[in-house]
């Protein structure tokens, strides 16, 4: 049975924090607020005090623990590799158990835990999008026409599709006999907001002759619920996905979303031995494509006369796993792309799951730094490998009055590949 770790399970890791302060230079939230409660060592101290019964769950404690993007930047630079994001997530679960979920957290749990309700809401949103939203110039997103709970009117949102991606495609798409079989874990972002990314995924694997299985009964990976502290929802979704994904004999489970990759590959791996094979088989799309020689195939294509300048944003959930080179290999090999490395490509964009809902002003301040770096690069497009980052990057660009667009690398890849019958 799926079981998330409790705060007590991290006691040893908590005690490894020596309060050196190396995390201060790398925490995006501390960078904009300069308050000790916002940085990793402050949160570790809080977690330790909660374990020892030295502090209660008063508002100040809850506020400090909510001010974390779970981006893992602190752990990357920590000499003892203290997993602050895991400890904070466990502390939020403790808070939810003792005080209950917030109203928004209850909404997240209710929707994510009921796929049929999620489908209904998505289809309703797609149908009513022209009434609820106004279109921004140059296809850079939508803005709310009216105030909505937990959403600011000046936030840029992608349109919700009236027909989810998984309803557009067959469950099995046969490839060539000698090629591997992969299971496509679509995630919610691709299924409901960016179906074109799903189509691009299929085009890339069709080019390689790969057989693709897209289970209709797969569910959300659960990362938004992890961020909210909704323990039962995360565990329920993990069990549902274990059942849905284990029904098929495949070589790899491939994701095109950094958060889904971390959910299946990291969070699930810690929830019980029964998830071991699922987590081991989970692979990012660009790792898969690089391993199967796609960069070399792309490099053999003639370069376009007019190339578009593209930079890359590292999603935190890939960067913390060391997946940084493979997406760049694909981008650099694309015949229509001139790749430009932007400053601080590996810093968090400011989304942080539910963080940008609770703390939108801070999220915007963090995103503004990323938007400035995109402008500095001189790129026309910023590509990434995470639907959530695409949404946040476009919002940040729009607030900065920039003219760039955020896209998934797969969309650029699909443009470069020939159409196959």
- Would you give per-residue pLDDT tens digits along the chain (421 residues)? 779 999 999 999 999 999 999 999 999 999 999 888 889 999 999 999 999 999 888 899 999 999 999 999 999 889 999 999 999 999 999 999 999 988 878 888 888 877 777 777 776 765 666 656 677 766 677 766 656 666 777 888 888 888 999 999 999 999 999 999 999 999 999 999 999 999 999 999 999 999 999 999 999 999 999 999 999 999 999 999 999 999 999 999 999 999 999 999 999 999 999 999 999 999 999 999 999 999 999 988 889 999 999 999 999 999 999 999 999 999 999 999 999 999 999 999 999 988 998 999 999 999 999 999 999 999 999 999 999 999 999 999 999 999 999 999 999 999 999 887 7
CA atoms of 340 and 359, how far apart (whole Å): 31
| Domain shared by 348 and 386, yes or no | yes
Q: Which of 243, 244, 242, 283 is nearest to 260 (CA)?
A: 283
Quick one: which H or E segment has residue 296? Answer: helix 294-299
The pLDDT of residue 294: 95
Per the structure, how many domains does the chain have?
3
At residue 101, the pLDDT reads 87
Do 304 and 277 lie in a common domain?
Answer: no
Q: Is residue 126 part of a domain?
A: no
Identify whether residues 313 and 243 lie together within a single domain.
no
CATH number at residue 78: 1.10.1060.10
Furthest-apart CA atoms within the chain: distance in Å = 66
Last residue of a domain, one of 290, 321, 354: 290
Q: Between the CA of residue 133 and those of 120, 144, 152, 155, what are the distances in Å?
A: 18, 5, 12, 11
Are residue 216 and residue 285 in the same domain, yes or no?
yes
Terminus-to-terminus CA distance in the chain, angstroms? Answer: 44
Query: Is residue 169 domain-shared with residue 276, that is, in the same domain?
Result: yes
* Integer Cα distance of 182 and 195 in angstroms: 19
CA 170 to CA 241: how far, in whole Å? 19
Query: Strand, coil or helix: what is 173?
Result: strand
Check whether residue 186 and residue 217 sit in a common domain.
Answer: yes
Last residue of a domain, one of 290, 312, 339: 290
204 vs 51, 287, 310, 409, 412, CA distance in Å?
Answer: 49, 13, 19, 11, 11
Q: What Rg, from alpha-carbon coordinates, does the chain have?
A: 21
* In-domain check, residue 313: yes
Nearest alpha carbon to residue 269 among 257, 282, 258? 282
145: in domain:
no
Q: Residue 238: which CATH number?
A: 3.40.50
Q: Tell me, what's the pLDDT at 353?
A: 85
Residue 129 lies in a domain: no
Q: Tell me whether residue 106 is in a domain.
A: no
Residues 66, 171, single domain; the answer is no
Q: Are 208 and 272 members of one domain?
A: yes
Contacts 24+ apart (CB under 8 A), 318-323: 318/258, 318/261, 318/284, 318/385, 318/386, 319/72, 319/76, 319/346, 320/71, 320/72, 320/75, 320/76, 320/262, 321/261, 321/262, 321/265, 321/266, 323/261, 323/284, 323/286, 323/287
Distance (Å, rounded) from C-alpha 389 to C-alpha 395?
10
- Tell me: do 193 and 267 sit in the same domain: yes
In a domain, 114, yes or no: no
Residue 319 CA to residue 155 CA, distance in Å, equals 26
pTM here is: 0.93
- List the domain range (segments joined by +) for residue 41: 7-100
Residue 133 lies in a domain: no
In this structure, the answer to whether residues 389 and 275 fall within a common structural domain is: no
Give the pLDDT of residue 241.
Answer: 96
The pLDDT assigned to 19 comes to 92
Mark which of 223, 257, 290 sits at the end of a domain: 290
Rounded to whole angstroms, the Cα distance separating 140 from 405 reads 6
Is 286 found in the same domain as 302? no
Position 222 in a domain: yes
Same domain, yes or no, for 282 and 301? no
* Residues found in the chain: 421
């Amino acid at each position: 049975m799926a079981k998330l770790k409790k705060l007590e399970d991290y006691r040893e890791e908590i005690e490894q924090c020596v309060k050196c302060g190396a995390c201060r230079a790398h925490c995006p939230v501390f960078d904009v607020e300069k308050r000790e409660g916002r940085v990793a060592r402050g949160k570790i101290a809080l977690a330790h005090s909660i374990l020892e019964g030295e502090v209660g769950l008063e508002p100040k404690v809850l506020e400090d623990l909510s001010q974390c993007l779970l981006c893992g930047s602190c752990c990357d630079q920590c000499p003892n590799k203290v997993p602050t994001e895991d400890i904070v997530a466990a502390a939020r679960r403790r808070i939810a158990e003792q005080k209950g979920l917030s109203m928004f957290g209850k909404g997240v749990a209710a929707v994510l835990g009921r796929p049929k309700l999620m489908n209904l809401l998505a289809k309703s949103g797609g149908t009513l999008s022209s009434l609820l939203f106004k279109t921004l110039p140059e296809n850079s997103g939508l803005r709310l026409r009216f105030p909505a709970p937990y959403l600011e009117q000046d936030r840029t949102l992608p349109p919700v599709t009236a027909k989810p991606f998984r309803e557009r495609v067959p469950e099995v798409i046969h490839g060539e006999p000698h090629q591997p079989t992969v299971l496509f874990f679509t995630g919610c972002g691709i299924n409901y907001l960016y179906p074109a990314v799903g189509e691009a995924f299929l085009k890339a694997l069709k080019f390689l002759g790969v057989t693709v299985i897209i289970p209709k009964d797969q569910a959300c990976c659960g990362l938004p619920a992890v961020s909210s502290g909704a323990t039962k929802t995360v565990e329920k979704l993990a069990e549902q996905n274990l059942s849905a994904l284990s029904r098929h004999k495949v070589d790899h489970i491939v994701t095109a979303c950094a958060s889904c990759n971390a959910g299946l590959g990291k969070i699930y791996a810690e929830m019980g031995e029964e998830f071991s094979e699922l987590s081991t088989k989970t692979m990012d799309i660009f790792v898969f494509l690089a391993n199967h020689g796609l960069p070399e195939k792309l490099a053999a294509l003639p370069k376009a006369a007019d190339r578009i300048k593209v930079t890359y944003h590292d999603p935190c959930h890939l960067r913390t796993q060391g997946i940084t080179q493979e997406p760049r290999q694909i981008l650099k090999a694309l015949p229509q792309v001139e790749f430009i490395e932007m400053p601080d490509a590996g810093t968090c964009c400011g989304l942080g799951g539910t963080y940008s809902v609770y703390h939108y002003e801070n999220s915007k301040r963090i995103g503004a730094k990323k938007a400035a770096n995109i402008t500095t690069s001189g790129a026309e497009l910023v590509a990434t490998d995470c639907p959530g980052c695409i949404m946040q990057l476009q919002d940040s660009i729009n607030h900065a009055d920039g003219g760039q667009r955020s896209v998934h690398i797969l969309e650029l890849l699909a443009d470069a590949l020939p159409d196959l019958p």
